[in-house]
Amino acid sequence: MSSVVIFGATSAIAQEIARIHASRGDRLFLVARDATNLDALARSLGPRVVGFEAADFNDTRGNGDRVARAVSSLGGIDVAVIAHGWLGDQLESERSFAHAEAVITTNFTSVVSFVIPLVNHLEARGSGSLVVLSSVAGDRGRPRNYTYGAAKGALSTYLQGVRSRLYKTSPSVRIVTIRLGPVDTPMSHDHQKNVLFGEAEAVARSIVRAAERGPEDTYIPWYWNPIMATVRNLPERVFQRFAFLAGR
């Protein structure tokens, strides 16, 4: 039985992750922005949930205290999942710095405000996994989502640094970056779907597996690894000629 905290617990993928852990008999502490959906999720999972809390994650100064309350309620954390994010509006982020700042804060700064205390806890504990949902959008700047992508790219780079810092001193602590491809969820409701879109339940199973074993920097669904290897390495002038890559 593991003790698991999930930040962004009411996202479609995080809810599936929570259900998987609950079905295993794990103990859960859930944190999310939407109090109504959070209460419904906690009720549906029953006694496996030892506590839950609604929070504004962009209140970054309070996130350390939120981690501390999760640690206290669970008696220590074995697995931490950070699953919140926000696409924002790319065009609005080009017109308004305030909107761009909100996208960057949600997808990068607020995540780091959780990562620091969680890593410190796992390092002191000497074991455990921190799983953070990043995005394939961070691998290359694309006109349709480069503000969101820049924040996710910064996040992936930050987690690489954390992993390397802990490599020799805390080898039993796993820092897992999930470079997530598009998934059919409410977050992508206005996107035209295609065969590359993942399904939330299958994606959640893959994320839980990644927390336990395999590469600590992984693409989910798996097929985004070869796709993004190609996209990353295209010369910029070539990249810009392909509307499906560099178009709006």
H-type alpha helices, the chain: 12-23, 35-45, 63-74, 90-95, 97-104, 110-125, 146-169, 200-212, 224-233, 236-239, 243-246
Q: Would you state the torsion angle of the CA atoms of residues 136, 198, 53, 87, taken in this order, to the nearest 10 degrees?
A: 50
Q: Model-level pTM?
A: 0.93
DSSP state of 76: S
DSSP state of 191: S
Residue 61, both tokens: 């100064």
Q: With 0-12 CB in 10 A as exposed, 13-18 as middle and 19+ as buried, what is 124?
A: exposed
At 50-65, the pLDDT tens digits run 999 999 999 999 999 9
For residue 114, give its domain range: 3-246
At 29-50, the pLDDT tens digits run 999 999 999 999 999 999 999 9
At 99-142, the pLDDT tens digits run 999 999 999 999 999 999 999 999 999 999 999 999 999 999 99
Residue from 148, 167, 219, 223 carrying the catalytic annotation: 148
CATH of the domain at 210: 3.40.50.720
In the annotation, is 219 catalytic?
no
Q: At what angle do helices 12-23 and 200-212 cross, to 10 degrees?
A: 60
At 167-207, the pLDDT tens digits run 999 999 999 999 999 988 776 556 566 678 889 999 999 99
Q: What is the mean pLDDT of residues 163-170?
A: 95
- Number of independent structural domains in the chain: 1
Q: Is the peptide bond before 221 cis (omega within 30 degrees of 0)?
A: yes
Q: At what angle do helices 35-45 and 12-23 cross, to 10 degrees?
A: 20
CA pair distance 226, 199, nearest whole angstrom:
19
